[in-house]
Structure 1
Amino acid sequence: MTKTFVIGDIHGGLRALHQVLERSQATKKDTLIFLGDYVDGWSESPQVLDYLIALEKKQNCIFIRGNHDELLLNYLKTNDYNQEWFKHGGQSTIDAYEKVSDVTRHEHIEFLENHLKDYYLDEQNRLYIHAGFTNVNGIAYEYYPRLFYWDRTLWETALSLNPDLSKESIFYPKRFKLYHEIYIGHTPTTRIDQTVPINKACVWNIDTGAAFFGPLTIIDVDSKEFWQSEPLPQLYPNEKGRN
């Protein structure tokens, strides 16, 4: 029986990615859905992209675009960056790419441009997206596609929703009626002092803070069983990540 696994924000932590794939016992027959933000934070951003490019050739992988992936693509194509990116994980990535060949840089540009999706909707009406969406009619009607990997209002709304509110209520958010489940990253659960996946309404947040002091998480979307790496500072003891 094949399975579908979802992996949270990696942020350059290749060692953590190795751990969660091993601990979940995912096989080449399984589908792996990555929620984006493969880079920025820990020192192995180029190696993470190398690994994902190779992995895609061996099994079914779906790669969602994260905001940090867009920022890296802009840097690789223009050698330009803004200070906010530089302060929020970009510096480690810039440093790492100083050791990368031109051939590899071009391979990474091609991957970031052509292999990443804004979102993925499966046959069970489960939506996989890095951050969220704002249009109450759903992803197909979003006015500003960059919100797919920048929005935080979907998760903020899910957190603030009264769990006793009926779906039939006129006050129930329409966005939460559209999809059976929504899997996101982008806003780490460490912001609410949690380092495990959090489910609110139909939204599952799988970003458990691997960019900072939390672990990386992989979850089986059918059973909801999940596995985690060691906290990233333990795997990269001589680095600061995005702390």
Structure 2
Amino acid sequence: MIWVVGDIHGMFDPLKTLLNRIKMDIYSSENIKNAKIIFLGDYIDHGESSKEVIDLLLELKEEFDVVFLAGNHEDLLLQYVNESDLFKTYGNVWFKDNGAKETIVSLSPIKNLCMKNFSGRDGQNIKWNNLKIENKYLEFFNKLKYSHIEQIGTGEEVFKFVFTHAGINPEKDIDKQLDVKNYDDFHSYLKNNKEWIENSIIWMRNMPERPIENYIFINGHTPTIGIDKYCSCIGNYDVQSGKPFFNFGSKEAFYNRNGSYYYFSNVNKEDLISINIDTGAILGKYLTAIKIPDNLIEERKIQVIQVPTSGIRRSGYCKIENYYIKVPYCSTS
């Protein structure tokens, strides 16, 4: 079985509750050894407990087979640590309402940091090494993967899942995008292919609207309350529901939710293009995990666990494409 966890953003208590429920499910299973937990990135920023979140994930690594993917927020942090040219011109938005202050205050043992230095983009003048942050946290960020693939089934009946933080760019070579495995790979790919970062696997917001090489893409990044801005085929999905978004290639392909399970036995697997599980945890909605069972071929159902979050970590007017909407939602969340 594979459990997949969406964007956490420094919210320790909801994550702990979610992981306890996942552990209960795994330990009650007959196939514990095959259990895997995949995290889609954005562990840090906005929430007040980035340090505690990472500590909990490092503990979990000692207990289960886990995959930690990088989100755009971790990439911004690594740009900052590496003092990259891209950070100077773009990534410094991390210090402008993108959660750098909350993360640094959480990770750094220096408790008398001058908060005025973290306003706007001025924080780029504060060096990482001066923050006295333990090496284990930087090691965690440096080891993050940028893509991951899993396959369930054999022969003609196969589900091929691609896990990335954000969407895939259907206009670019898919294999090249999925060859990106770490920070260096990612930034080399951007440079060599002259790719703008917001069209990449950690930033892309548009949902694919057709099947791509028989893959099913699982991602977070774009809160589902705004998913109709990036995908026209939403079927019977309620964008205000706070539920994960199952993206079908046909407007006639409806999915059926029954309790904590989503069934898609009424459609071919080729109709299911992607699943977005960023259900707006930082917007006061839910932290979400989905379970892909070993017998998915037979059962055609995916289990969902959600933990409500209290309070909005991000708010205000945020520009989305060519208009403004008054929702707690930003283009870099």
User: Shorter-chain TM-score: which interval?
Assistant: 0.7 to 0.9
2:314 match: 242
Q: Is the 8 A contact 2:163 2:218 kept in 1?
A: yes
Out of 232, 240, 243, which is 1:196 matched to? 243
Structure possessing the higher radius of gyration over alpha carbons: 2
2:140 match: 111
1:178 match: 213
Range moving further from structure 2, 95-104 or 116-125: 95-104
State the 1:11 CA deviation: 0.4
Q: Is the 8 A contact 1:89 1:242 kept in 2?
A: no
Following the alignment from structure 1 to structure 2, what is the Cα–Cα distance between the partners of residues 138 and 61?
A: 28
| 1:52-72: CA deviation from partner (whole Å, max 9, x where unpaired) | 122112210011110001112
1:87 match: 97
Out of 102, 111, 114, which is 2:132 matched to? 102
1:48 match: 53
Q: Is the 8 A contact 2:108 2:133 kept in 1?
A: no
Out of 5, 16, 31, which is 2:14 matched to? 16
Judged with a 3 Å threshold, the aligned counterparts in structure 2 of structure 1 residues 181 and 85 are, in CA distance, closer, same or farther, namely: farther
| 1:63-90: CA deviation from partner (whole Å, max 9, x where unpaired) | 1110001112334455x86245430222
Judged with a 3 Å threshold, the aligned counterparts in structure 2 of structure 1 residues 99 and 212 are, in CA distance, closer, same or farther, namely: farther
Following the alignment from structure 1 to structure 2, what is the Cα–Cα distance between the partners of residues 85 and 204?
A: 30
> Which TM-score applies when normalising by structure 2?
0.59
1:169 match: none
Which has the larger share of strand?
2
Structure 1 residues without counterparts, runs of 5 or longer: 159-172, 234-239
1:164 match: none
Identity of aligned residues (%): 28
> Which TM-score applies when normalising by structure 1?
0.79
Range moving further from structure 2, 188-197 or 206-215: 188-197
Following the alignment from structure 1 to structure 2, what is the Cα–Cα distance between the partners of residues 99 and 242?
A: 25
The answer to whether 1:230 aligns with 2:228 is: no
The answer to whether 1:126 aligns with 2:204 is: no
Structure 1 counterpart SS, 2:162: strand
Out of 68, 73, 78, which is 1:73 matched to? 78
Out of 202, 208, 211, which is 1:149 matched to? 202
The answer to whether 1:206 aligns with 2:277 is: yes
| Equivalent residue pairs, number | 215
State the 1:138 CA deviation: 4.9
Structure 2 residues without counterparts, runs of 5 or longer: 111-130, 153-159, 178-192, 227-238, 249-272, 294-300, 316-333
